[in-house]
Structure formats: C-alpha cells, structure tokens
A and B are shown apart, each in its own frame.
Chain A
Amino acid sequence: MTTEAIPAAAAKRSFRSPKNAKRIRQLGGILAVVVAWQISVWVIDLPPYFYPGPSNVFDAFIELVERGILPPYIGDSVGRYALGVFCGTSIGVLIGLLIGLSRLMSAVLAPTINFFYSIVEVAWIPLFVIWWGYGIKTIIVALVYVAAFPVLYNTLIGVRTVPTVLINASKSLGATNLQVLVNVILPSALPNIFTGFRIGAGFAFRGLIFAEMIAAQTGVGYLIFEGANSQQTDRTIVGMITIGLMWLVIDRAYLSPVEKITIERWGLVSDSK
C-alpha cells in the first residue's frame, strides 16, 4: 500500500463507520418526512395559510431571520429555560434533602407536596399571570414549579435508599452530620438527583412553550401562538421545528451525556427504585 493510499482508505473506513451509517439513516428519515409532506401539499392542494408546504415554511424562516424576530425569540426562550431549570433543580434538591433527612419535615411537608404535585402547571399559569403579570416572572415561576417536583421526589428516594450501614459506619469513624451528608448521602443520592434532573428538564421544556403561549410577548412559544392567531401557519410551523431542534441540542449535547456518565459511574437508576 502506498503512503497516499492510507489516508484515503482511512477516510473510506470512517465514512462507512456504523456511526456515520446511523447518521445517514437518520437524515434519510427526516428527508422522507419532508418529501412526503411536500407531496401531500401538492395532492391536497389547500391554501398555504391553511396547510403550508416545506417551501412556505422555509420562506417564513428566512423572513423571520431577516426581520430580526427569530434570533431574539430563541435567545429569550433559552434564557428563561436555563434560569427556570437551574432554580427549579436547586429548590427541588434542597427540599428533597430536607424531607429525606428529617422525619418531622417529611411528616409536615410530604402530604402538601403530594397535593401540589397533582396540580399541573397549566392550572397555575392563569393565577401566576394575575400575581406577576405577563412576562418573565410568571414564566420562571411556572418552570420552577414544573422542574422542582421530579428532582424533589428523586432526591427524596435517593436519600432514603442510602444504606444505613454506610451512615452508621461513617458515624462510628467519627464523621460529623455534615461530613455524612457531604461524603455519604449526597454521593449516594446523586444518580437519583440526575435522573430527576433529566425528567424535570424535559417537563420544563414543555412548560416553557405553554407558559410563553399564555404569558409572554416574545419567545418561540409566543411565535407559535401568534402565528396561528394571525393565520401565519408557516410561522407556527417554523416555531414548532425550532422547538424540536432546540430540544435535540439540549438533549443530545447536555442531558444525554450527563445520563451516560451517571450510568457509567453509578449504574442504572430509576425513579421506581
């Protein structure tokens, strides 16, 4: 084999690698959906404001970018989501630890939390709007509400399933309560906390879109709602595709790797444990 042939062969091998083959199949699936959509537009032949085709949606996307509407909307949605998930996760972990570590707090708070968990955020948003008006405050509160509960429950399960023998062993070696919390309980509960975080982050994303539809004048959720209201259905579909892509990036780049690390480091956990 000549020296020139080696890089070419390596490139051929890498192009045909299972990872690339999987990507090509995935792209093929997306392409098939777009083609089927365009064919259905030709066959059904409805006005574009009622059933827009891929070309209408692409034009709407270009228009939204040119007019400077889409980039700030995406920025607003991502900022709200990050802040809401951060606050919701922090509150969920804190309350979960509090209830998990204290029997008194568990007796006092557990029924109340169970009650509030059953009330979905959709029911709260009209009330939040009355209390905090239209805007970021209402959206953040709604996201905190959605993200906190799965984290709280999973933290609680994580804390309660720490083997007592580990706590007793560290205490018998002279560890203080704080040292037991930091070095035994928290590391043991971490897989469950990550599981809760992943569930909460998913719920929060759906909550974000809904909250923006009701309580915002910017954001991708608002774009979907406003597009449908003004019969600009192509814009609504641009919003829907943007949401899908945003979730793909969040899930593939941030949540899945965290989940993978959790599984590799501590093994698979589930909230039914």
Chain B
Amino acid sequence: MLRRLAKIPRSIILTSAAILLIFLAYEIWTRSLAGQIMADFRPDWDAESQDIVIVMPFEPEQFHMLKLQAAGRFISYENKEVTLFDVHPDDIRRLARNYWVSDIRLITR
C-alpha cells in the first residue's frame, strides 16, 4: 500500500493536501465565526421556525439574496439589514457560517 502511494507523483499528493488544508481551514474559520454570532443569539432550537434579521456589511447582491431566500421567506431589506420569516433553527446556524453575515437578530411578530 505504502509502495503504491510512493509511486503517486509528488505534485498530486502536495496539491491535494494543500487543497484539503485550505478547505479544512476555511471550515474551521467559518464554524468559529458562526460560534461567535450564535453565542450572542440564542434561537429556540425546539421551534419549528423563527423570524430573524440578517445584518451585512454591504448591500446584498443576487448571490446573497438567493442564499437568504433558500433559508426563509424574504420580507424586507433596509440599511444593509434583511428580514427573513420562517427560518428553521438549523438554517440560522448555516447562515451564521457565511463570513459576509455580520450579525443575526431575533425578532417577534
């Protein structure tokens, strides 16, 4: 097995390892960011869905709107804040992992 691995060209092993490392570093970084946002924001994990405001450091583009609309019902946008209704708690955690999300706030209807 090791002899076979030794026959694989170094460039393939090194590039694959570099890609894997970048991917792992990115995952760890985004998970830690999500942890920071979720530390201040405590959703009701048993709730079916919740209403939230996503705060961003810039005006959202089509890419961001598609991601947000995949998580919940788009209600409004004002001052770099997007209001979403009916977002599942798991989707809130997933949204928090995007590094372009500055903050998430819970709102009550």
Contacts and interface: CB of A to CB of B under 8 A. Distances in A.
Given A68-B98, A68-B100, A71-B26, A257 B9 contact: yes
Interface stretch (A197-205, A237-245, A247-255): A247-255
Interface stretch (B36-44, B47-55, B56-64): B56-64
Interface string A207-220: 00000000001100
A253 B98 CA distance: 30
B79 interface: no
B63 A69 contact: yes
Interface residues of A, number: 17
Contacts of A260: 9
Contacts of B15: 249, 253-254
A67 interface: yes
A261 interface: yes
Interface string A54-69: 0000000000001111
A220 to B, nearest CB: 13
B76 interface: no
B75 to A, nearest CB: 22
Contact of B61 (A67, A217, A249): A67
B66 A217 contact: yes
Contacts of B77: none
Interface of A is mostly: helix
Contact of A253 (B11, B58, B61, B63): B11
B9 A261 contact: yes
Nearest to A73: B63
Interface string B9-35: 101101100000000001000000000
Contacts of B100: 66-68
Nearest to A222: B63
| Shortest beta-carbon contacts, A-B, top 8 | A257-B9, A253-B15, A68-B100, A253-B11, A69-B63, A257-B11, A67-B100, A68-B99
Interface of B: 9, 11-12, 14-15, 26, 58, 61-64, 66, 98-100
Interface of A: 66-69, 71, 217-218, 226, 249, 252-254, 256-258, 260-261
Given A256-B11, A260-B9, 14 more contacts: A67-B61, A67-B64, A68-B98, A218-B63, A226-B62, A249-B15, A252-B11, A253-B11, A253-B14, A253-B15, A254-B12, A254-B15, A258-B9, A258-B12
